[in-house]
Structure 1
Amino acid sequence: MPLYSYRCPDCADFDVQRPMGQAPDSLTCPGCGKVSARRFTVPNLSRASSSAYRLIESTQRSAAEPAVVRSPGAGAGSGPANITTNPLHRKLPRPD
């Protein structure tokens, strides 16, 4: 459903969600009760793809409900998998 914006002459702006084409030209303000005129705003369009939306939703969902790992995956803890044999890598600084 679209979101319609109204401007109260005394209070702040407020939004109302109504079915398409069924929003009146004026409503009473929920704060003070005065008549508020509907105002024109830009549509809320996004150019993001559906995969971007899925990523955003999963990130928001994981903030409140993080995935719980009960055990390490297969092969974890068996030591470093990528050991280099390049002698120049020995000269690189190592973390303490």
Structure 2
Amino acid sequence: MPLYNYVCDDCGPFDEWVSMADATKACACPGCSELSQRDVASPQLSLMNGTLRRALARSEKSGTEPKVVKKAHLAGCGCGICKVGKKGPSTRHKWMIGH
């Protein structure tokens, strides 16, 4: 849940943790309980490094509409998922060499 800035007409600015789905709704002021509108604030993304900025954008995007993905692996990647169901050659009939 992100932290949003709100401005109360009587008490002034305050911050509140609100889900992204409810971000456009008014929030009750903690001091006087009056409904307050969200304040426009810049997230200062230019101060973040590129990796952090992309991770933040990915998490914001998937917060309300998660992307459905299919797990595909490269041949011989060695992960636990790829090893499930793949068995080596059977050693059960080794005694039947040449038959």
Calculate the TM-score normalised by the size of structure 1: 0.42
Report which of the two has the higher share of helix: 2
